[in-house]
Structure 1
């Protein structure tokens, strides 16, 4: 054993009783480190689990994109994947009901490509200025420091476009049976480009090979009281025991003409693109087969960003994608520092940059290469792509998705509808009566039966007395 400076630690230095403290380098080294070993947790998706593996191409999609890692059946690309609840703190429970993150980092030969996706096929909003309000409404009340139904339902009723994602999370899919059973969706419609500059548009999907499965609120409460890290444990143990942990990667792909003729706006994040209009095209298989050796180093420092793109994938034209490209990068700069891409788990295969200095890690700091561009001293140069397309510009209408929200409800079986109503009332019931009225009005606009059932259930809801604890007689 040594100090962080490499000096060997003599046994007598492992005890401080009746000894001078300030000259004990082992004591000073360990104590000064422990008071600094926490970094800022993620603002959202704070708690998470992750693993590593590979992506293998099973179908040729070269006609749609020139992205190197997607071209060549049998080609394998290393990946890192992180799963996470959305609004739960780092020490919280895996079993919260809500949207979950499904983020994949592809370590390609042309740089890292990140899909920062979700468990739902749509998002809560399409105007990124609402993002901070959406997240804060699901966090803790600034006065009481507890989660507040008034905050959540105030936001949701002010912005009814959020109801599609809300109905899914309050339905049976709201709590998966572990991350291995969870779907992943890009939510954005990406612009692709092939080798001759033709553009296509695609939404990306990851479907678990083990099958999608969920648990009920009652089951989740039992797990929550015995093992709140059950999803994290399940993922780790499955990989450690050599079980199959994989997803089929597909995409809904369209030409520009096809995209403009779909019955919905395919660039609207609050809408799911119907598979009967734009069927899934299989691409490959995502396999996880290695657990992290150190969670902090490999998962907590793992940094995803929608801005991490590769040639052949231009990004998405919607404003939420543009906003996320800034926000995620800014979050990593704040949490991990200016050199976060030099942290081992975030490093691309190749990097030739003019960035220099800053807080560690700096690596070799680009050695003796010039630190400015352009130069005449053999520094790295930009490449030319005569077929490169520009990201299209779109005009985004005000959100209007209640007809699709109605289809989500109509497609539920009777048992799931019953559980949905129960979960809605569990969440909405503690909120103010004025919010009950607003929510019921929106539910009736979505589906008259849904609205009537929620209204009746709220009338029967019994609010707990303000001064009693739930375990008191």
Structure 2
């Protein structure tokens, strides 16, 4: 039986094809509320796109734990072999607009949400274990160099390389981005990383530092520059199409979830800063420990509702998982949730994809845009079911849970703006370069030269000196590639 057509208030619609007018040829009437509702809603069918990670794809699935981590954390989803937790994963490209091509040379976002019994735990990472910066105060400036020039409205190689030439901390990530792993063939055929250092704590109050790694079980596959250029012209949504089709066909992609764990005391004496996002922890010092499998097995029913309005944030932490002194992470703890409040609304966590699926929210936040949307998993709007909207109180409002408090973290040093250029920005970039074979190195040289060659000579010279600091052969190869342009 066909259901009746109604307006948003549920009133049945008699005619949805003709506006109310003063005569057959006359002007339209302001009282045509149906026309006004349709046009007003249409004008608002797009929310502001993300400043970064605007083009994305997402899917649901499960995380199955195969190694108990109770020695390291009280986090519910890391307790008990065989424990399964619902997940949502959003993939994305970083720099392009929402209509950009999936095959751009760009880092890929890899953002995982665990719907745990103690709230949502988000790991908002990338397909690279490092990043271009180690301090969030530089992030807006960096992203400006990746976006369009405000005068020409075109991508700006001069700005990009100018910024990088003055921030050698970016060299490790540049080397990854410009390597043959810079353009993943699909979202299924790439690794994911939490990238940041996070903390875990156990029932004894012991803290450990942790890095998360998601290793694809489909194998690593990448595109050359030539392959990517062809795909961008044929199907700019190829990665979205591949992910959706594979899940629809029952070919569920999987990733092996691994962690590196460092005892808290090790951080003080380790030879690199373990909270520096431009660095990796060598596996020989802190080996990967496989703890489970992440599988994607369900596509969203509505892209806008469940992917475009998905609001992941690294500040979504749960008992047993915390932050670290990683300066980029510290900045992102504020920036991501604040971006979601601006982009979607103050109550974005009431939307089904964002509300906790496995734990009922109870808090004292009230009102604001979208208040009362309600989480369908719990049958009410987010917050307490009572009328109490303050704490503490004597009215049986939600009570604090001191048993899940994070243990104290020792901090030392005078408050100041510390110069971080004392860090070694070249060693790990050089190590990565020397791991590449000759063919991979040549592809790296050619890819760098394709955009660096568009920058001014003084910037090219600055970058060549940075490459030289990493490895003399690195600089020589890029120089030769530049001369052949």
Shorter chain as denominator, the TM-score bin is over 0.9
Counterpart selection for 2:468 from 425, 437, 444: 444
Conserved 8 A contact 1:317-1:392: no
Partner in structure 1 of residue 18 of structure 2? 15
Q: Closer, same or farther in 2 for the Cα pair 1:220/1:386, shift >3 Å?
A: closer
Distance 2:409 2:306 in 1: 33
Structure 1 residue 110 corresponds to structure 2 residue 118: yes
Q: Please identify, of 13-22 and 365-374, the stretch whose mean Cα deviation from structure 2 is larger.
A: 13-22
Q: Which SS does the other structure have where 2:188 is aligned?
A: helix
* CA displacement at 1:23 relative to structure 2: 4.6
Q: Deviation string for 1:419-464 (max 9, x for gaps)?
A: 1111001111111111111111111111111111211221221xxx
TM-score (norm 2): 0.91
Distance 2:264 2:464 in 1: 39
* Aligned residue number for residue 468 of structure 1: none
TM-score by length of 1: 0.94
- Which runs of 5 or more residues in structure 1 are unaligned? 462-473
Work out the CA distance in 1 between the residues paired with 2:253 and 2:371.
33
Contact 2:386 2:397 in 1 (8 A): no
Contact 2:442/2:477 (<8 A) preserved: no
Taking a change above 3 Å as real, the CA distance of residues 449 and 178 of structure 1, as seen in their structure-2 partners, is same
Counterpart in the other structure of 1:466 = none
Counterpart check, 1:371 vs 2:389: yes
Matched, 1:356 2:374: no
When the two structures are aligned, how many residues end up with a matched partner? 460
Q: Tell me which residue corresponds to 1:302.
A: 310
Superposed, 1:152-163 pairs within 5 Å as: 152-163=160-171
Gaps of 5+ in 2: 375-379
Counterpart in the other structure of 1:383: 401
Indicate the residue corresponding to 1:330 in structure 2.
338
Residue in 1 aligned with 2:229? 221
Aligned partners of 1:341 and 1:347 also within 8 Å: yes
Say whether residues 1:82 and 2:97 are aligned partners: no
Hey, what's the Cα distance between the residues in 2 that align with 1:385 and 1:391? 17
Q: Deviations over 1:76-134 (max 9, x none)?
A: 11111101111111111111102111000111111111101111111111122111111
Task: Give the Cα–Cα distance (whole angstroms) in 1 for the partners of residues 404 and 60 of structure 2.
Answer: 36
Query: Which deviations, in whole Å up to 9, do the C-alpha atoms of 1:361-410 show, x marking residues without a partner?
Result: 42345443311111111111101128731244377853322011001110
1:177-232 residue CA offsets vs partner (Å, 9 max, x unmatched):
10001111111111110111111111000011111111101000000000011011
Q: Alignment partner of 2:63: what SS? A: strand
Quote the Cα distance in structure 2 between the aligned partners of 1:21 and 1:222.
51
Q: Is the 8 A contact 1:318 1:394 kept in 2?
A: no
